[in-house]
């Protein structure tokens, strides 16, 4: 019996001695935090306040929070990703060739980035990616380096050879906490949103079926412990077409939205907003039995408390020291030129998302028209997407200064202003193009027009059929939409002129593009000249340009009685009435409505995007994608402001719950203001 016991002990000793060191630890649960930024657009800092003591050092704050996560006992490791569109934006990035962003990303230790469509606005192989498919080098004063951060974009081919381009990878394998994580880059075919000359050498296979095949190959060849899609695209659209047994998480970009939800097939999706306003995160939890679950989906805003972003002694622990230093170096490189005051406005310069004129579009195209008058220009057009921000009045103030920095921020691309000759028929066709697709140039000065269209405001604008009824010059002169004889010289950006199907195809500009002025530089020149004449005052045109004539008499708006159906994360109230039913009752984009709920009466406009109202103002948003009506405060919390509910944190996903402070249902009545 003793011999048997001794033999058994020897066997057990040998078995345990042959186990790998830390074997028990290897079996423990592993938590890896996925941390995603996207669509930074150069916003390492926001200098729009014009006061250096109020600059928002956004990426330095995000880097500090990243450091907190890396040091936390809660996570075994952190995977840091970016969804693309790194550089195009404020001059601190634009005038340093994006070096300040590449330096910061190098310091922060990004594990992978996805190529964005705006990476093609500059030479993608010089400013974004090396031939080894890693982030391009940077030199910024005393800072220099060559980051080894993989640049991902599957399906990107050399158009001439048909071969995959060498400067992006389909995917990368990242090891974190002993786990092998495959990160796959996906880009749709966004060639239509890129200047033709910059995308012409390349072809994009944006097929989600191709992406699915690639993912299956990666699983067969690499056997990863987890697979993440890093997309410069709506993450939900991607996830819906994927196999949930093969894809564990989709991180998105491009739409500038915040996303923390799951697709209908259960695949979790996150997206970190835009412009360094915050980041999205999710935890990959590897259980001891080999299972994997995704928890803690969240979006964290860093701009909700702007005082924490200022470079002050009190904020020393809130801002990453290295990223703060390189942010300062970026500003130092451009400070002198950017601080020049060009004048003062007393009307907000606001970019809108809806079809139609905006004060930003009117103002800028007016500057472009005057900048090209020497070429005989009578009209100017610009695409809404090229206007990158609004120049709002500070809260509580009746005016604001306009600086060189502001112009480079609202017009970062530096597109050439080209002048072409069009007849009346071509002009009408151009207006239709702009109504269907704003990239053709939907903002304008020098004319007004009327049109008819089928469908309504919730119909995809590209699907509506338009007919131009009349075109009128500012002096009242009519332009015949069918005339092929009379010639008008019009100004348009080189970007809009290059889009396939443009009326400018196969036309030569009056002045060759190489000699044409850049949009931002031309705007600065005109403002300098006119500001001197007007004692610094800069007028802003808020007039309409295109007016839709209804083919059938629209019904008079009738009163609506509905109720709150839910509260979104940031306090937006969703209503029981659908957007399509709302439209059918006679309301339209731009209508001003009176809303009564919870004993309060509010006035607000009907809009399509949160940014269509100034910061801190209320709006009624019609969401055509989900057929929803939402009441909101731009960058605010309507549910809390009205005393309807209070948000409390909780452990379970999505990390919060709204507790109503009033009896349910919360009834809502809506009428046209003035009725």
**Range in 16-20, 264-268, 430-434, 458-462 with the lowest mean pLDDT:** 16-20
pLDDT digits (tens, 9 = 90+) for 459-505: 678 888 899 999 999 999 999 999 999 999 999 999 999 999 999 99
Domain boundaries, the chain: 27-329, 340-548, 560-672
In a 3-state reduction of DSSP, which class is residue 475?
coil
**Range in 6-15, 126-135, 174-183, 282-291 with the lowest mean pLDDT:** 6-15
Please name the CATH architecture into which domain 340-548 falls.
Answer: Alpha-Beta Complex (3.90)
pLDDT digits (tens, 9 = 90+) for 23-74: 444 458 999 999 999 999 999 999 988 889 999 999 999 999 999 999 999 9
Structure tokens at 359: 């004060």
Query: For tokens 């050498």, what's the residue?
Result: 201
Q: What is the mean pLDDT of residues 114-130?
A: 93
Which residues are bridge partners to 600 per DSSP?
597
The total of other beta-carbon atoms located within 10 Å of residue 330's CB is 28
Q: Which option is the CATH number for 560-672: 2.40.30.90, 3.30.450.40, 3.40.50.280, 3.40.605.10?
A: 2.40.30.90
CATH class of 27-329: alpha beta
Residue 344 pLDDT exceeds 50:
yes
**CATH topology identical between 27-329 and 560-672:** no
Mean pLDDT of the chain: 90
Helix (H) or strand (E) holding 466: strand 466-472
Separation between Cα atoms, residue 445 and residue 379, nearest integer Å: 6
Residue 336's pLDDT is 87
Residue 534 pLDDT exceeds 90:
no
pLDDT digits (tens, 9 = 90+) for 75-95: 999 999 999 999 988 899 989
The total of other beta-carbon atoms located within 10 Å of residue 614's CB is 15
Q: What is the mean pLDDT of residues 238-250?
A: 97
Of the pLDDT bands very low, low, confident and very high (cuts 50, 70, 90), residue 170 is: very high
Interstrand relation of 151-152 and 112-114 (parallel, antiparallel or unpaired):
parallel
Separation between Cα atoms, residue 224 and residue 248, nearest integer Å: 11
């Amino acid at each position: 019996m003793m011999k048997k016991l001794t033999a058994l002990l020897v066997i057990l000793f040998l078995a345990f001695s042959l186990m790998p060191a830390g074997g028990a630890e290897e079996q423990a649960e592993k938590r890896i935090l996925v941390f995603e930024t996207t669509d930074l657009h150069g916003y390492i800092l926001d200098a729009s306040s014009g006061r250096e003591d109020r600059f928002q050092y956004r990426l330095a704050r995000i880097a500090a929070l990243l450091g907190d996560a890396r040091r936390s006992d809660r996570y075994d490791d952190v995977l840091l990703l970016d969804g693309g569109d790194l550089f195009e934006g404020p001059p601190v990035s634009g005038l340093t060739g994006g070096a300040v962003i590449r330096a910061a990303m190098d310091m922060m230790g990004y594990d992978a980035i996805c190529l964005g469509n705006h990476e093609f606005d500059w030479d993608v192989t010089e400013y974004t990616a090396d031939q080894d498919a890693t982030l391009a080098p940077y030199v910024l004063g005393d800072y220099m380096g060559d980051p080894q951060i993989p640049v991902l974009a599957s399906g990107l081919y050399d158009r001439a050879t048909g071969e995959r381009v060498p400067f992006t990878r389909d995917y990368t394998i990242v090891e974190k906490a002993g786990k092998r994580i495959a990160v796959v880059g996906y880009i749709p075919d966004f060639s239509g949103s890129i200047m033709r000359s910059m995308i012409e050498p390349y072809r994009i296979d944006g097929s989600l079926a191709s992406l699915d095949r690639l993912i299956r190959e990666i699983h067969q060849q690499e056997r990863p412990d987890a697979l993440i899609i890093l997309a410069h695209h709506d993450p939900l659209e991607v996830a819906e077409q994927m196999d949930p047994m093969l894809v564990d998480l989709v991180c998105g970009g491009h739409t500038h939205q915040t996303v923390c939800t799951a697709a209908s097939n259960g695949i979790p999706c996150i997206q970190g907003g835009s412009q360094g306003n915050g980041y999205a995160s999710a935890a990959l939890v590897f259980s001891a039995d080999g299972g994997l679950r995704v928890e803690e989906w969240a979006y964290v805003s860093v701009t909700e408390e702007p005082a924490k972003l200022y470079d002050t002694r009190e904020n020393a622990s809130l801002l990453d020291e290295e990223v703060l230093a390189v942010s300062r170096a970026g500003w130092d490189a451009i400070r002198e030129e950017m601080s020049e005051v060009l004048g003062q406005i007393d009307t907000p310069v606001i970019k809108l998302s809806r079809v139609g004129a905006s004060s930003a579009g009117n103002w800028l195209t007016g500057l472009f028209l005057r900048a090209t008058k020497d070429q005989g220009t009578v009209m100017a057009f610009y695409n809404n997407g090229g206007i990158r921000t609004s120049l709002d009045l500070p809260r509580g103030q009746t005016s604001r200064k306009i600086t060189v920095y502001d112009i480079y921020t609202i017009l970062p691309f530096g597109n050439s202003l080209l002048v072409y000759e069009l007849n009346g028929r071509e002009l009408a066709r151009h207006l239709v193009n702009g109504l269907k697709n704003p990239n053709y140039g939907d903002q304008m000065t020098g004319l007004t027009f009327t049109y008819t269209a089928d469908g309504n405001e919730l119909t995809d604008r590209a699907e509506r059929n338009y007919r131009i009824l009349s075109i009128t010059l500012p002096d009242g002169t009519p332009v015949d939409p069918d005339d092929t004889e009379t010639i008008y010289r019009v100004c348009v950006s080189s970007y809009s002129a290059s889009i396939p199907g443009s009326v400018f195809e196969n036309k030569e500009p009056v002045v060759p593009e190489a000699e044409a002025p850049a949009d931002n530089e031309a705007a600065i020149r005109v403002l300098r000249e006119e500001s001197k004449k007007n004692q610094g005052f800069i007028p802003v045109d808020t007039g309409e340009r295109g007016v839709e004539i209804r083919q059938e008499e629209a019904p008079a708006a009738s009163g609506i009685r509905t109720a709150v159906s839910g509260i979104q994360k940031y306090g937006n109230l969703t209503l029981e009435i659908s957007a399509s039913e709302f439209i059918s009752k006679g309301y339209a984009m731009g209508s001003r409505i009176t809303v009564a709920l919870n004993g309060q009466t509010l006035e607000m406009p009907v809009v399509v995007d949160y940014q269509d109202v100034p910061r801190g103002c209320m709006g009624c948003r019609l969401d055509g994608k989900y057929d929803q009506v939402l009441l909101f405060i731009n960058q605010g919390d309507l549910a809390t402001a009205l005393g309807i509910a209070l948000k409390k944190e909780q452990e379970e996903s999505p990390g919060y719950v709204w507790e109503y402070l009033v009896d349910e249902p919360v009834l809502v009545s809506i009428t046209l203001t003035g009725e």
